Structure 1
């Protein structure tokens, strides 16, 4: 087997490079801005009002993030034509690309592709909405799947929200045991913890301004963006749990 040089020298290893999307490759969440774009400001505002009580319950920790995500999907996407959403996603990608995407993140994706790595997005945002972004990047996509019946969205998530342990499970369903790869992972929220823990090279908020990366470095004493999984998992978990309701993107 040929020897590859992939930033660090790796011999006889397949490399899988996994990028979270919202807040990692992007400057902020993409799902809610997409809904505002697709439905228009007035209809978006009307439907958001229906989520006021669930949002309060979430902030009060009486509702989980997955439950709130389900309510969001149900409120906006029940009975909506899937093809219409796909077309709106293409338009959203075109108009928001330069404002939404982090240039340093895009450069890193290109570098991983050029190194010969297998590269994929792995995001809690709906795959239907992220597909144009993955296509433009030229990489694979794993995201939360929305249930479709006869071409119409039911307003339900098919399977599980693709965050936390489900990111690892979805990756294994596509790529097989992750132990056969040198896993590189980029993430920025509690929803990426299990993915980062599984990686040999774990990059936390790697494309963020230094002050945001320092928050985790100060908690566990690591250099920002390098080797998160090599340090005490319990300390990381405590930090993530403390920030779970305030520091996570909806799509993450």
Structure 2
């Protein structure tokens, strides 16, 4: 009998809030977050009007808040965020579902458009995998650019297939809450939309 595997979206599925803004708040503080959003508001409006891509707006936000931050400092703060702040954002029902899959011996991985840096430490604490958007690092500093493609939509399926040979699994479970999760849900044997 082949093993089973479960893929979970992160923001909005496991968490109650988008963690991009939460990680900014944690790193920079409330006042800096709102000042930055005010400065970036023309671009955010264009994004809402679908005139700017998801990847472009994410890079703009990341560059504004994190460009030139030393990589080691960024990673350390992200690990602190996972330990100190993230648990209060996690839905109990989603965490229970992850634990149920693990108890059944299923492999579990988070597949997220959020940065691996602020999701992977939390995943590691549960003993589950993490596939996320990778941030570009140059000269040991965050550039604010995305390395490759934002892990959303079809890219979620691409990244899953790069890491896993799905023919080696009997049942594939997937959980998501947005249109960007639909390709992953359609790939699964059992796809759950807004389950939690």
Structure 2 unaligned blocks of 5 or more: none
Change (3 A) 1:56 1:97: closer
Q: Which residue does 1:84 correspond to in 2?
A: 73
Change (3 A) 1:98 1:156: closer
Q: Which residue does 1:36 correspond to in 2?
A: 25
Q: Which residue does 2:56 correspond to in 1?
A: 67
The Cα RMSD (Å) is 1.3
Mapping 1:1-252, distance limit 5 Å: 12-176=1-165, 178-181=166-169, 182-207=171-196
Secondary structure of the 2:10 match is coil
Q: 1:85 touches 1:129 (CA, 8 Å); kept in 2?
A: no
Tell me how far 1:114 sits from its aligned partner: 1.5
Q: Normalising to structure 2: TM-score of the pair?
A: 0.94
Secondary structure of the 1:14 match is coil
Tell me how far 1:14 sits from its aligned partner: 2.3
Distance in 2 separating the partners of 1:121 and 1:39 = 26
Tell me how far 1:172 sits from its aligned partner: 0.8
Distance in 1 separating the partners of 2:55 and 2:137 = 19
Tell me how far 1:201 sits from its aligned partner: 0.6
Secondary structure of the 1:44 match is helix
Q: Normalising to structure 1: TM-score of the pair?
A: 0.74
Distance in 1 separating the partners of 2:71 and 2:32 = 18
Tell me how far 1:18 sits from its aligned partner: 0.4
Distance in 1 separating the partners of 2:21 and 2:47 = 16
Distance in 1 separating the partners of 2:182 and 2:126 = 24
Secondary structure of the 1:196 match is helix
Between structure 1 and structure 2, the one with the greater Rg is 1
Q: Which residue does 1:222 correspond to in 2?
A: none
Distance in 1 separating the partners of 2:66 and 2:180 = 23
Structure 1 unaligned blocks of 5 or more: 1-11, 208-252
Q: 1:165 touches 1:195 (CA, 8 Å); kept in 2?
A: yes
